[in-house]
Structure 1
Amino acid sequence: MRSFEDQLFGGVRVVHVPGIQGPHGPQGEKGEKGDQGERGPVGERGPQGPQGVQGPQGEIGPQGRSFTPDAMGPYDDRPLYDDQKAGFVYFAVDTATLFYKLSDSLADWSTGTSIKGEAGLTGPQGIQGEKGDKGEKGDKGDTGDTGPQGDRGDTGPQGEKGEKGETGAKGEKGDTGEQGMSFMPNYVGLDADRSNYDGYTKGVAYLATDTGKLYFKKSNALGDWTDGIDFGRGPTGPRGSSANEILMDPDPELYFLSVYGETHEDEIWFADTVPFDPDPVETFEGSLES
């Protein structure tokens, strides 16, 4: 039911009593579109719908401009630009990294963006080029330091003894040389023990004390000795006479007794004779003094 509505007509309140609704009349013509009302408040966001189908790929855009950093150099030189303004770009060539000044503050750099890509796959080996011309010989390098002396090698086999050559003509006597230095052999011993040094090096000297011969190693070959040089004590000479033996001819004592007498134990008996010339006493005392 419809509610009652009050209307005033000339100050008299009229109360309408609703009756039975009649039938709808025909629809009238559509009126002109009214002005758009004010936009209402935004309602709450509804649930997210399903993802739509991917659209077609767009056209390739124009090529961008090439990028040139404001400064470049090794990473260790970046502090030289710590006082630059915001937007300043520094490229570290040794690490292939870009750094941006985030503000005008001192050393306020970005963490760095590497522009070095990942290593690509190894390409196929190219065709070998033609062999180039041989270069000029380089200068000889400096002589290196002498290395440590190596171990002594084993003694080689002794070579065969060559034939003795013909004796040459005797040369003229040379001038007397200066007095030589005293010589000391390297080893001394019996001739039979010389074989103990057969393996020694060239120039080693060995003196055999029993034969008086001096031997030298002619080479490093085993047992390659010289024939030997007489270097020791010579043969014993004849026994010499002393001065007393020369003066005692005749024997002074016998001569004294024959002139003056004879001796009896510690006493001498003189005979009455005239002394001889020379005086045998002086001859005897002179022999004792000499």
Structure 2
Amino acid sequence: MAGPTTAQRGDSKRVKSKLRLQTKLGLKPKSRPQQKQKSSGSGPPRRGGRRLPSRRTLILSAVAAVLVGGAAVWALYGSDWLRATQVKVGGTEVLTRGEVRDAARVPLGAPLVSVDTDAVAARLRAKLPRIDTVRVERSWPHGISLKVTERRPEALIKQGAKFVEVDAGGVRFATVDKPPRGVPFLAVEPGKANGPTASSLRRFGPDRLRKEAVRVAAELPAAVRKETRTIRVRSYDSITLELTGDREVVWGSGERGAEKARTLTALMKAAHGADHFDVSAPSSPAVSGS
């Protein structure tokens, strides 16, 4: 390795001589200035190769976020821009839109965001049993939308001079003065029950038998349904249909309803003059009368 050059040795001697002279004169030798570290640039320190935001930037960002959040809260709750002023109703058939609006009791004038849509739906179902399902939605900026689906009567129960409508689930949801057209009557006869029939009623109860009859009504082909006047229930497995023209269909239980419906449709097409059909065992049906 090469040693110091002649010039370097000379410089070193001069520095040493200067230091000795300063010592004799009582002067404090000046320390050599430290070399400043190179800076990577002005601004805040970096972390992981990324420049960190300054304190001022963080404060300004926080203030801006608070202002934006406050403005949003004021717009939703304090301003007149987003308030419930309209109620739109759709899907009604028997019910009127006014009936639905009155039962919903939407708080008009309240901030739209504060309207409790679940509470509105609960009020509608409680006040109007005819409603099967309801969807309550906010319609920005000023509306509440009520979309209802009404229950459909599958059978009727005569109650004095009025008629009770029963849906496919056996729910008695409305009492009307006039029976709707094309809906059969339902007759459950516990008073006439004796022997096996009485045992069936004790086991299942009138409500269960009523549901079975409504289940039969819901599975009837459209053409047969139009001609069905009464669905008579004597026990769980003794359901009969009374059709126009003094015709009768022995249905049996409510089980295998779709298969029985297909069999009955085929029988009625093949035997136009028959007045008694038995599809209680759909694999081996019977027809009589002429």
For this structure pair, what is the TM-score category when the shorter chain's length is used for normalisation?
Answer: under 0.3
Structure with more of its chain in helix, by fraction: 2
TM-score scaled to structure 2, two decimals?
0.23
Q: TM-score, normalised by structure 1?
A: 0.23
Between Structure 1 and Structure 2, the one with more strand by share is 2
